[in-house]
Amino acid sequence: MKNLLKNLFLIKVLIILIKLTGLTLAWISVIKQGVEPIKPLFIVGAVFMFGSIIFQMIFLRCPHCNKELSSIGRLGDYCPHCGGRLDGEE
């Protein structure tokens, strides 16, 4: 059942990559075009950032208690809420 822990790790990596992509797009927009008025590239970056939050809320969850896990720091072997193993074993 180590596959589930790998899936949670991959989901966490994907969330971080989506957040970094959004941040980079927004930053490039501000650097190249300034803050006023809001440019489409900045909006795309913001959509990526908010999308990563929604993705995290849906997919980064404990397999036992279904509570959201943090995308900050190491995942660990056990859920911080219920103490269940994150690799899916009892």
CA distance 65 to 83: 9
Count of beta carbons in the 10 Å neighbourhood of residue 52: 21
Q: Is the pTM of this model over 0.85?
A: no
pLDDT tens digits for range 12-59: 889 999 999 999 998 888 887 666 677 888 889 999 999 998 988 888
pLDDT tens digits for range 63-80: 888 888 877 777 778 888
